[in-house]
Amino acid sequence: MRSTNFFYRKLTVTNLKNMNKNTVLAWATAIMIIVGLALIALGAFRYDDVAGWGFASVGIGFFAIAWVFNALKGRV
């Protein structure tokens, strides 16, 4: 019961209103890393032809953008 109450307190609207720019950039970085990993995995394991190279290169591009978002934390 205690763990459910903990997660409910974390997801309230007031906590979402208290997010600053650094928190938004951190969430964006995490989401972009997850999507980048998924795209690279699709390219490596699902597609064996030229499309696999495209998925993998787009996944690497997601990593590059996530790196920029991470570098912007604290500067914006």
pLDDT of 59: 94
Q: What is the pLDDT of residue 53?
A: 93
User: pLDDT, tens digit, for every residue of 40-73?
Assistant: 999 999 988 899 999 999 999 999 999 998 898 8
Residue-level length of the chain: 76
- pLDDT value for 20: 86
Looking at residue 35, its pLDDT comes to 95
- Where in the sequence is the domain holding 40, given as residue range(s)? 19-72
Under the phi-then-psi rule, with left for phi > 0, alpha for psi from -120 to 50, and beta for the rest, what region is 26?
alpha
What integer pLDDT is reported at residue 73 of this predicted model?
83
- Tell me whether residue 11 is in a domain: no
| Residue 12 falls inside a structural domain | no
Q: Predicted confidence band at 10 (pLDDT cuts at 50, 70, 90)? A: low
Total count of domains within the chain:
1
